[in-house]
C-alpha cells in the first residue's frame, strides 16, 4: 500500500505515521526526518536546508523530489510506504505521479489530517522540540506558507479520487482509529 500522510505542521503526521507503519507493516519515509538528519550531520544539503527551514520557508521542489526519488529506490519500499511531508506542492505531486508511472505503481490513499490553525499553534508551541522555527511568529509564517503553497495539493488529490479527510482532533488513538478505518476500507 502506498500512502501519503498529509497535513499542516503540528497535525500529528509523524505520530500517526509510526502507528500506520506498525499496524500495516509498511515503512515510513519522512522528508522532515531526512532533512533533520542532514542538518545534524552538517552535510551540504543539511546546511542549505537549515537556513531555509529556519526562515519558515519550504525547501525547493527539485531538491525534495530528488531526495525522495533516491530514498524510494531502497528495496525496503518496494511493497509500499507512507510518505510523511511529501509532496508539499503541486509540482512535487506531479513529479511524484511521474515516479509512480515510471515504476508502474499507484497511490492508494492521500490521508489528510484536518486540524484548525488555533489547535496547531497550541500543539507546536507546547511540544518543546527546541526548533528555531517554534516561536509564535515563525509558526504563523509556517502555517501561512502551508496554506498558500501546500493546501493546493489537497485539491490536486481530490481530483484524483484518493483524498481521504481525517478529523485530526481527539486522542492519538481516536485519530488513528479513523485512519485505520479508512485504510482498511481502501484495501477492499
Reading the block at residue 188, the C-alpha cell is 477492499
Task: In whole angstroms, give the CA distance from residue 113 to residue 102.
Answer: 28
CA atoms of 57 and 141, how far apart (whole Å): 8
Please say if 142 is a catalytic residue.
Answer: yes
Exactly one of 40, 47, 76, 127 is catalytic; name it: 127
13 is catalytic: yes
How confident is the model at residue 136, as a pLDDT? 83
Catalytic residue among 2, 142, 164, 178, which? Answer: 142
Looking at residue 140, which CATH number applies to its domain? 3.40.50.300
Contact 49, 35 (CB under 8 A): yes
Domain count across the chain: 1
Whole-structure pTM value: 0.84
User: Edge-to-edge, what's the strand order for the sheet holding 81-84?
Assistant: 28-30, 81-84, 2-6, 109-114, 163-167
* Active-site residue, from 2, 13, 164, 178: 13
Active site residue 127: yes
Q: Active-site residue among 36, 48, 131, 180?
A: 131
| DSSP for residue 150 | I
Query: pLDDT by residue for the chain (188 residues), tens digit each?
Result: 999 999 988 899 989 999 999 999 999 998 878 888 888 888 887 888 888 878 777 788 888 888 888 888 889 999 999 998 899 889 999 999 999 999 999 999 999 999 998 899 888 888 766 566 677 888 888 888 888 877 799 999 999 999 999 999 999 999 999 999 999 987 65
The pLDDT score that the predictor gives to residue 80 is: 94
Query: Which domain, by its residues, includes 138?
Result: 2-187
Q: What's the pLDDT at 110?
A: 96
Amino acid at each position: 500500500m502506498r500512502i501519503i500522510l498529509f497535513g499542516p505542521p503540528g497535525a500529528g503526521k509523524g505520530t500517526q505515521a509510526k502507528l500506520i507503519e506498525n499496524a500495516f507493516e509498511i515503512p515510513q519515509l519522512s522528508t522532515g526526518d531526512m532533512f533533520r538528519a542532514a542538518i545534524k550531520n552538517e552535510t551540504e544539503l543539511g546546511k542549505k536546508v537549515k537556513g531555509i527551514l529556519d526562515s519558515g520557508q519550504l525547501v525547493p521542489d527539485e531538491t525534495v523530489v530528488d531526495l525522495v526519488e533516491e530514498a524510494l529506490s531502497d528495496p525496503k519500499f518496494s511493497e509500499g510506504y507512507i510518505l510523511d511531508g511529501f509532496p508539499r506542492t503541486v509540482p512535487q505531486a506531479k513529479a511524484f505521479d511521474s515516479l509512480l508511472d515510471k515504476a508502474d505503481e499507484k497511490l492508494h490513499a492521500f490521508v489528510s489530517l484536518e486540524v484548525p490553525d488555533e489547535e496547531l499553534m497550541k500543539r507546536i508551541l507546547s511540544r518543546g522540540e527546541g526548533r528555531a522555527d517554534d516561536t509564535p511568529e515563525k509558526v504563523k509564517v509556517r502555517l501561512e506558507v502551508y496554506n498558500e503553497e501546500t493546501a493546493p495539493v489537497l485539491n490536486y488529490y481530490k481530483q484524483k479520487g484518493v483524498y481521504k479527510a481525517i478529523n485530526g482532533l481527539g486522542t492519538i488513538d481516536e485519530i488513528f482509529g479513523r485512519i485505520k478505518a479508512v485504510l482498511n476500507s481502501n484495501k477492499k
